[in-house]
Chains A and B, each alone.
Chain A
Amino acid sequence: MKSGSNLEQVISSGVPAVTAELGPPMSADPHEVIKKAQQLKGFCDAANITDCQTAVVRISSIAAAAIAFQQGLEPVMQMTCRDRNRIAMQADLLGAAALGLKNCLCLAGDHQKFSAAGRLKGHPGAKNVYDVDTCQLVGILKKMRDEGKQEGGDPIEVAPKFFIGASWTPMADPVDFRPINLMKKVNAGADFIQTQGIYDIEGFRSQMAKIVNMGLHERTAILGGIIVPKSAMMLKYMDSSVAGVSVPKSLIDRMNKAKAAAGEDKKKMRELQEQEGIKITIELIHQVLETPGIKGVHIQAIEWESAIEGIVKEAGLYPRPTFPGA
């Protein structure tokens, strides 16, 4: 075992892994993290704790991960390259490991200009860092863990033992470079990969066929990303505006139909779309898990963590395996 994390043990056991996501609040109140951790605990093998996602200030990934961990939920702390140089990154990694965290997902991070797609003020005038990029950050974690050395070469007496993750957007431009992109992250040391949300199963399978040909699926555990759709509007937005995500018209039509069935009743409109969204999610989970080379799913119910229990149960992925000592 590289880290001994629960996620690593599930993946090693050959059982399809399930990860979820927990978004920390824009507030110093720990209760929202505790509440979300309680909702996710037992229904996933680990949950990503986002690192100021959409470039908006929230409880830091490490602090929220430590809170979730106290609640018995295994966290995957996220670390973006946007906000820290390699000194701060490694200091945070040492601290995170000292707090008992065992999984880390390396990301470039949304540009500071993103500000929740303009819905919040954010800090578009902030200076970004990008001292290292994702591949390089993965390499730093690996060097710390396997060689017991800092990036600069200084020795680490007690090395942080992380199960190292990276993200992958299989269908973003330039599409024919994306498999090489994944290969670089694997070569740098990524033990597991979580993909961008997949709706276009055909497109995803064609990219995965290339990955299987390259043998990358045996060198890293690829978890297919599922973003739980809440409404027709959300699907349309993701199709038109989220890089690397295309949503087949048939799925948007299904959501529209669910919405239309509610007539003028706004509350019912929401409920019917949410129900349809969960149905779509469960179908996508099965289709992703049936794709050759896939080792699990990463289910993101954005600001809807309470949906995970039902989804995981209905998808036949419950109970989750347990391992002593993880």
Chain B
Amino acid sequence: MIVGSQKPIEEIWSMVKDFKKVLVFGCNTCVAICHAGGEKEAATIASLIRMRAGQEGKAMEVNHMGVMRHCEPEYFDPVIEEVKSYDLVLSTACGVGVNFLSDRTGTIPVYPGINTSFYGAVEAPGFFKELCAGCGDCIVHLTGGLCPIARCSKTLMNGPCGGTNHGKCEVSNEVDCVWYLIVERMKKLGTLEKLSEVLPPRNWSTSRDGGPRRVSVEHIREYEEQEAQKPETAGGKK
């Protein structure tokens, strides 16, 4: 899932203070699970903004709303006209949601209510951890299922640096050295010898370095195009 965290209310206030009618728009999937931007958090942010507006003597209408996902049109299509009746949408979806909505709200600005942090998992209630970097060329079959791209501070591909201290990363003693974990895991799996091979410089063009990425599933695209070309027939959808 995508993990995010709420922006400080001061920063939010500086974004919204000059608008008259503000919608705090939550997303009820990933960012709800990490308690950052679901409908519940959107409601809290909306009341914080109202309180602040009251303190500053600003006349401002602030409401909230939430949909299941901001990254697929079918979820916000039913409410898009209502969304567009506001002066500003403060989206508490991840950055994907903010962008996706911005492309669809015409002259209504969409601002971010949270900081999108990483792709991670729920390690413990209220504790989330980055586990994937979305680099576009997964190699974790070579590293015991644990990712050195996302989890090594230096994205090292061929083993730990000299900074591993009691199993922790040199960046912080609260961060596990993933290479320590990889070695321990591969010892358990009996596959440690796989690590003897030198992995060559990788092709980062599958990552962000290759420019913004797209995935096109050909058979779905073809089907959709065929469907679009079919004449409308009696009793059937187009």
Chain B: minimal CB distance from A147 (Å): 14
**Which A residues lie within 8 Å of B187 (CB)?**
176
- Given A111-B171, A172-B162, A135 and B198 contact (CB-CB distance below 8 Å): yes
Size bracket, chain B contacts: 20 to 34
Q: How far is the CB of A280 from chain B (nearest CB, A)?
A: 22
Interface residues of A in 164-218 (CB under 8 A from B): 167-169, 172-174, 176-177, 180-181, 183-184, 187-188, 196
- Cα distance, A110 to B165, chains bound together (Å): 13
Chain B residues with CB under 8 Å of chain A are: 153-167, 170-172, 177, 179-180, 183-184, 187, 192, 195-196, 198-201, 204
Q: Decide: A177 and B201 in contact? CB cutoff 8 A.
A: no
Given that A111-B153, A180-B196 are known contacts, is A173 also in contact with B160, CB under 8 Å in the complex? Answer: yes
Give A86's nearest chain B residue, CB to CB: B201
Given A81, A176, A184, which contacts B198 in the complex, CB threshold below 8 Å?
A184
A-B contact pairs, 30 of them (CB 8 A): A82-B154, A86-B201, A108-B156, A108-B163, A110-B163, A110-B170, A111-B153, A111-B163, A111-B170, A111-B171, A113-B172, A128-B154, A132-B201, A134-B156, A136-B201, A172-B160, A173-B165, A173-B180, A174-B164, A174-B183, A176-B187, A177-B159, A177-B179, A177-B192, A177-B195, A180-B159, A184-B158, A184-B198, A196-B162, A244-B164
Interface residues of A in 104-149 (CB under 8 A from B): 108-111, 113-114, 128, 130-136, 139-140
Kindly state the separation between the CA atoms of A132 and B201 in the bound complex, as whole angstroms.
6
Report if A243 contacts B (CB, 8 A): yes
The verdict on A174 contacting B179 (CB below 8 Å), with A131-B204, A135-B198 known, is yes
Tell whether, in the assembled complex, residue B196 and residue A184 are in contact, meaning their CB atoms are under 8 Å apart: yes
- Report whether A133 and B162 are in contact in the complex, using a CB–CB cutoff of 8 Å: no
Closest 7 CB pairs of A and B: A169-B162, A135-B158, A108-B161, A243-B165, A174-B183, A173-B164, A133-B156
Of the listed residues B159, B179, B200, the one surrounded by the most CB atoms of chain A closer than 10 A to its CB is B159
* A50 CB to nearest chain B CB (Å): 14
Shortest distance between the CB of A203 and any CB in chain B (Å): 15
Residue of A nearest to B149 (CB): A130
Q: Let me know if A151 is at the binding interface, CB within 8 A.
A: yes
Tell me whether A243 and B162 are in contact in the complex, defined as CB-CB below 8 angstroms, given that A135-B198, A136-B200, A173-B167 are known contacts.
Answer: yes
CA distance A183 to B198 in the complex (A): 10
Q: Roughly how many angstroms separate A187 CA and B158 CA in the complex, as a whole number?
A: 12
- Chain A residues, CB < 8 A from B195: 177, 180
CB distance from A39 to the nearest CB of B (A): 27
* Chain A residue, CB-CB nearest to B152: A130
* A130 to B184 Cα, complex, angstroms: 24
Closest partner residue, chain B, to A177 (CB atom): B183
Q: A82-B154, A133-B157, A181-B160 are in contact. Are A173 and B177 (CB under 8 A)?
A: yes
Query: Which chain B residue has the least Cβ–Cβ distance from A187?
Result: B198
